[in-house]
Amino acid sequence: MNKIYNHKEVEEKIYKKWEDSGSFKPEVNPNGQPYSIILPPPNANAPLHFGHAMYVVEDILVRFRRMMGHATLWLPGTDHAGFETQFVFERELQREGKSRFDYDREKLYQMIWDFVESNRGEMEKQLKSLGFSLDWDRMRFTLDPEIIKIVYKTFKKLYDDELIYRDLKLINFCTHDGTSFSDLEVKHIEQKDPLYYMRYGPFSLATVRPETKFGDTAVAVHPDDKRYKKYIGKEIEFESLIGRVKLKVIGDSAVDPEFGTGVVKVTPSHDFNDFEMGKRHNLPMRQVIGFDGRLTSLTGKYKGLKVAEARRIVSEDLKKEGLLEKIDERYTHTVATCYKCGRVLEPLPLEQWFVKVKPLADAALNAIKKGEIKFIPKRFEKTASTWLENFHDWNISRQLVWGIRIPAWKCKDCSKWTVTEGMVPEQCPNCKSKELVQDTDTFDTWFSSGQWPYATLLSQSRISNFQLPISNEDINISQDFKKFYPTSVMETGYDILPWWVVRMIMLGIYETGKVPFKTVYLHGLVRDQKGKKMSKSRGNVINPIDMAEKYSADAVRMALIFGASAGNDLSLSEDKIRGMRNFTNKIWNIARFIDLKRETRNPKLEIRNNLTIEQLSNLATTQTDKEMIKLVEELVKRTTKHIEKFELNLAAEGLYEFMWHEFADKYIENVKGRLDKDSYIIVNTLYLILLRLLHPFMPFITEEIFGKFSGNNSLLITEKWPKAE
């Protein structure tokens, strides 16, 4: 053995050996108990970051289960990530002095497709470089035809069951990126803005948005506010910069008498509370801000101004006309912003497709209450339930080119919509017109990825004539679905629990009648050594691939697990990774000691890896050997229990401490002075047991050493998890 372990010489070679042998496939243990994990699909276009490197949790679990003899499937996939990818691509266009508006839909889609395809292979290469033992032959992409077919079937069934509807509502719209967002995607920030007190006839009222005054269709007060009761139901008339207007005064309990003067303007087209108030009082809607972020023709001379500029000019004009009483510069409130570009989102009226969430959420809640899904840590069970109890109907329309286009067609003659499973309708079922136009919107990415567990398994069959929901009669359409659904574990970051995990539960139960996974394991966020979020602007980003290249994939993997309890954020530094590289050196040096002792004896000492704990005990004659055999037996039991209970950090920490201090510092030092044939068999057998325990955590170095000690046998392919009697 070389004096120093060089990971660069072995990792790629070992991974290729594993992959070529087919050892990542569940067919390796065809009769074993099924165990499955579906990889949370990373963005097909983006490079891996340390959030993705936390897939190491899944790799530990699946390697452990393979060694336990289970038929283990870890299914890989990538997400087209509609908005995220189009945002990145548009930024590339901007660098070239171009924009999305320079191309028609088909051309832009193809350009983004080519852009993604040129990067997808790099992501797969990075996953492999960290040792992730995925079954690559079962790889899926959210834009695979088989996946799209299933997404369309789900949409059609939801529509037929009246759980999907189209309606005009206020939506969160980014006028810069040109698309709407669901409630969960909105980033709320607290900021200070001026509060403008304006004259509205007999009233003074406060608002942060004087530029929307041209869209007012009522003035509201609380029905019990004694100051204004006499005005309710009456009409007021006042000057509004573009002429005199008349507005009705309504009483509504949504008005906070403590805000401002207790009087508010009602702008149903540009405020969510006002929209609901407008529905209650049957108020008309006047859209005075367009989807381009500029004021519309309804604003007279202010037409074409962007919102911020319009606010400034309108407030100045109000002051000139004596219609602005005062400005409170210290008003703090919360605004909705785009999580990607950071701009303030506009509430705008738009027809969209919505999922009626409550029936789906109720079924998911019932499954959680019945214990059909286990959450780790358990506290997230309450978090998931709270989200499910408070979900609003889900807007799944996105004004994007990149993604799965919604299979709905509007009749030009009667304006009725026709929803299909993707087929173009020949005519309108309502009026028989052939003048049909497909919706230009695409599905929210979370709608397609919310179907990921059953869609990935069903699509392996390549059969398209199955029906949803899946019945017992149809279950034989896919052996993978039949064998591996529900999946065993869904492992992901706690930050996307409401975005993705609960939606998978809702859609999975709806389509299959079963929960999509039995256990949800939620890891924390990877932060820098000071606990701060990693970001390019802070300059504290650590690249997992660079670290693996420098210190080894095993060192990166161990650094991510060591000290990282489920659900808690992890502070990571290069020093910690370097420390785990030192641990790989310690493991290597133990192996060199054992190997050198064999090489220097004539005849060579025997290496054994097939002895049981009981056989080792019978072989032992010294008290030190007997005690170490007992300690290893207890370690096997303890490590097995920790992994089965998802206490991976405790398993890793226990192995680290035992290998370094008990085995290397104490036992090896003791053995050096009394090495004979039997004690040599004991020490190398115990070491090989420790390598098997370490393998799920540090697969490359353990595989390399085991191969040298066992005639090129493979820990992953030939070896089982050690058992303690």
Dihedral sign, Cα of residue 447, residue 448, residue 449, residue 454: positive
Report yes or no: 443 and 396 within 8 Å, Cβ to Cβ: yes
Assigned token pair, 54: 């936390």
pTM: 0.92
pLDDT of 121: 82
- Give, rounded to a whole angstrom, the gap between the first and last alpha carbons of the chain: 33
**Residue 488, φ and ψ in degrees, nearest 5:** -80, -45
Name the β-bridge partners of 417: 410
Q: Which residues of 17-29 are buried (b: 16+ CB within 10 A; e: fewer)?
A: bbbeeebbbbebb
The pLDDT value recorded for residue 463 is 44
The full DSSP string for 82-108 is HHHHHHHHHHHHHHTT--GGGS-HHHH
18: tokens are 């594993």
Report the C-alpha gap between 244 and 514 in whole angstroms: 61
Can you give the pLDDT at residue 464? 43
pLDDT, tens digit, for every residue of 226-268?
999 999 999 999 999 999 999 999 999 999 999 999 999 999 9
703 is written with which tokens? Answer: 């595989």
pLDDT at 476: 47
Please write the tens of the pLDDT for every residue from 329-368.
989 999 999 988 999 999 999 999 999 999 999 999 999 9
Helix, strand, coil content of the chain in percent (nearest 5)? 45, 20, 35
Q: 596, 589, 709: which is closest to 659 by C-alpha? A: 589
Q: Secondary structure of 521-535 in the HEC alphabet?
A: EEECCEECCCCCECC
Q: Rounded CA gap, 698 and 687, in Å?
A: 15
In the chain, where are the structural domains located? 179-346, 553-718
Which parts of the chain have pLDDT scores under 70? Answer: 461-477, 534-538, 602-603, 725
Query: Which CATH class name applies to 179-346?
Result: alpha beta
H/E element, 328: strand 324-338
165, amino acid identity: Y
Which stretches within 265-407 are classed as H helix?
272-281, 307-320, 357-369, 379-390
User: Tokens 């599905």 identify what position?
Assistant: 443
For 469, the token pair is 């929901």
Q: Say what the pLDDT of residue 537 is.
A: 58
Q: Measured at the alpha carbon of residue 435, what is the angle toward residues 429 and 438, in degrees to the nearest 5?
A: 85
Q: What are 35's strand-pairing partners?
A: 72
- Rounded Cα gap, residues 436 and 424, in angstroms: 9
Which of 3.10.310.30, 3.40.50.1980, 3.30.980.10, 1.10.730.10 is the CATH number of 553-718?
A: 1.10.730.10
DSSP class per residue in 25-82: SGGGSTTSPEEEEEPPPPBTTSPP-HHHHTTHHHHHHHHHHHHTT-EEEEE-EEB--H
Copy the structure tokens of residue 503: 């939606």
Could you write out the DSSP letters of every residue in 522-568?
EE--EE-TTSPBP-TTTT----HHHHHHHH-HHHHHHHHHTT--TTS
Provide the sign of the torsion angle of the four alpha carbons 79, 83, 88, 93, taken in this order.
Answer: positive
pLDDT for the residue numbered 529? 80
Cα separation values, 98 from 108, 110, 113, 201, Å: 12, 16, 18, 49
